[in-house]
């Protein structure tokens, strides 16, 4: 199996452990193999993951020497390359065009609109637009609205605006963030009508176009802006059955409209007026270390399920464990140099908390959302009921002290 792993990802150890548990021989493809050498030894293939065509060609050449049985991208960056190479080699895959649509929010919106999938009204703000042009761009979308780059993730560059003047200021800030993150300064910005309501996340696995839903996470903290920093995810969902059915219906319609057929899906939706509005669909698993909040009745991890599906191994039961579980993404409170996170032992002593992982070492500069796109770490909890798991995470957060200088 070839695992496409961005050099800066959190996720390499969990996928490599999953491959080991399945007794799968692994080659890792990444931009800078030396960055992961301590995890994978010499089994590495240098790939330009942000160049899908170049990566696909290199993978096909590698297969001619060492045949592959599966290619899996562990994050967004390698998803299109994995799909393109798998298609050429006759391996399980999503259509490359479908995966590319999930990587560009503007393309995704247009595809979903043609299939009448519930989603926010949307438009674009072109580069260099004058204030009057910006106001015109949002006239049909309506206020409040959300402005975002089309190709960033983890809430980076996503901001709410409540007035025509606010849209102009927000668009300028979003443009600076996008350009600083390497986005073409001439690329249009996406503007969407803000959808009030509670947000949920769906974790699923596609098999020949059929979506098996593995978990639905509630996001109990309001995500109303102006920035949209994620905090707590808890599963199983506490929403009413009719709302759950709406979420499942919209998620399935979205994956079908996009043409996704194989592998993991992570979707985010908003519940409003009995409908589930699609905010985002990604052809990957949940980000960061959040997958550690999931365990299944067979004892397998989410990563093990994804890899087993890729090689055609029997999946057995996809039922989640009986206990409720949750994860807290520890936010960056302000910009500066991280001195450390204190209180980890106190957080671990909170009943229900199972693990605390601080993923950014002291001495690094940290930046909060929307300029930034990383969290300080992750706190995990398990309990009999979702409310108890949520309470444990909030208690753990209250005893953690983030020290930042500058």
In the chain, how long is the greatest CA-to-CA distance? 60
CA angle 159, 157, 74 (to 5 degrees): 130
Residues 115-149: tens digit of each pLDDT: 999 999 999 999 988 888 888 888 889 999 999 99
Q: How far apart are CA 262 and CA 169, in angstroms?
A: 41
Contacts of 362 (CB under 8 A, 6+ apart): 338, 339, 340
27-30 and 44-46 strand pairing: parallel
Q: How far apart are CA 300 and CA 315, in angstroms?
A: 9
Q: How far apart are CA 303 and CA 306, in angstroms?
A: 5
Beta bridge partners of 217: 201
Strands (E) across 220-352 are located at 232-235, 263-272, 275-282, 324-330, 336-342
Q: Rounded to 5, what percent of the chain is helix, strand, coil?
A: 35, 25, 40
| pLDDT for the residue 59 | 97
Residues of the chain with confidence (pLDDT) below 50: none
Q: How far apart are CA 263 and CA 267, in angstroms?
A: 13
Delineate the domains of the chain, giving CATH numbers in brackets: 2-95 (3.40.50.20), 121-193 (3.30.1490.20), 323-406 (3.90.1170.50)
Q: How far apart are CA 181 and CA 174, in angstroms?
A: 11
CA nearest 368: which of 222, 221, 231? 231
Q: What is the DSSP letter of 31?
A: S
C-alpha torsion sign, points 335, 336, 342, 344: positive
Strands (E) across 149-301 are located at 159-161, 189-193, 198-207, 210-219, 232-235, 263-272, 275-282
Residues 303-320: tens digit of each pLDDT: 999 999 999 998 888 999
Q: How far apart are CA 194 and CA 306, in angstroms?
A: 33
Helix (H) or strand (E) holding 94: none
Contacts of 175 (CB under 8 A, 6+ apart): 127, 185, 189
| pLDDT for the residue 8 | 78
3-class DSSP assignment, residue 194: coil
> Does residue 5 contact residue 36 with C-beta atoms inside 8 Å?
yes
Q: How far apart are CA 286 and CA 116, in angstroms?
A: 25
Give the global pTM: 0.95
Token duo for residue 212? 């098996």
Angle between helices 105-114 and 96-103 (to 10 degrees): 110
CA angle 373, 379, 380 (to 5 degrees): 125
What is the dihedral angle through the alpha carbons of 310, 83, 180, 33, rounded to the nearest 10 degrees?
Answer: 60
Contacts of 23 (CB under 8 A, 6+ apart): none
Q: How far apart are CA 405 and CA 191, in angstroms?
A: 35
Q: How far apart are CA 90 and CA 4, in angstroms?
A: 18
C-alpha torsion sign, points 297, 302, 303, 306: positive
Q: What is the DSSP letter of 33?
A: G
| pLDDT for the residue 35 | 60
Q: How far apart are CA 155 and CA 160, in angstroms?
A: 11
3-class DSSP assignment, residue 336: strand
Q: How far apart are CA 237 and CA 195, in angstroms?
A: 20
| pLDDT for the residue 398 | 98
């Amino acid at each position: 199996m070839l695992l496409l792993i961005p050099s800066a990802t959190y996720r390499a150890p969990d996928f490599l452990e999953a491959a080991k548990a399945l007794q799968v021989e692994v080659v890792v493809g990444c931009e800078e193999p030396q960055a992961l050498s301590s995890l994978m030894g010499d089994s590495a293939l240098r790939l330009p993951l942000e160049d899908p065509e170049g990566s696909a060609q290199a993978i096909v050449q590698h297969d001619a020497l060492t045949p592959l049985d599966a290619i899996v991208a562990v994050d967004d960056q390698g998803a299109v390359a994995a799909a393109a190479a798998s298609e050429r080699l006759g391996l399980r895959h999503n259509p490359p065009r479908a995966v590319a649509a999930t990587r560009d929010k503007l393309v995704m919106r247009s595809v979903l609109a043609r299939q009448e999938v519930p989603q926010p009204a949307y438009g674009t703000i072109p580069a260099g637009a004058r204030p009057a042009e910006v106001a015109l761009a949002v006239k049909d979308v309506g206020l409040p609205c959300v402005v975002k780059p089309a190709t960033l993730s983890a809430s980076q560059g996503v901001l709410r605006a409540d007035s025509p003047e606010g849209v102009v200021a927000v668009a300028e800030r979003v443009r600076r963030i996008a350009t600083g993150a390497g986005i073409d300064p001439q690329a249009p910005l996406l503007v969407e009508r803000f959808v009030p309501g509670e947000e949920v996340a769906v974790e699923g696995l596609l098999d020949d176009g059929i979506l098996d839903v593995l978990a639905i996470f509630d996001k109990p903290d309001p995500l109303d802006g102006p920035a949209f920093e994620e905090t707590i995810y808890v599963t199983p969902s506490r929403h009413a059955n009719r709302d759950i059915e709406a979420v499942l219906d919209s998620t399935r319609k979205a994956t079908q409209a996009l043409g996704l057929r194989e592998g993991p899906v992570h979707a985010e939706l908003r519940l409003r007026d009995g409908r589930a509005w699609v905010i985002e669909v990604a052809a990957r698993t949940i980000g960061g270390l959040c997958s550690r909040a999931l365990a299944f009745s067979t004892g397998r991890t989410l990563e093990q399920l994804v890899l087993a599906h890729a090689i055609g191994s029997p999946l057995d039961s996809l039922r989640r464990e009986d206990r409720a579980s949750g994860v807290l993404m520890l936010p960056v409170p302000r910009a500066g140099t991280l001195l450390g996170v204190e209180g980890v032992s106190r957080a671990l002593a909170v009943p229900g908390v199972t693990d605390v992982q601080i993923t950014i070492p002291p001495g690094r500069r940290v930046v909060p959302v929307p300029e930034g796109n990383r969290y300080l770490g992750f706190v995990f909890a398990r309990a009999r009921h979702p409310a108890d798991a949520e309470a444990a995470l909030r208690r753990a957060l209250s005893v953690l002290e983030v020290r930042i200088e500058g």
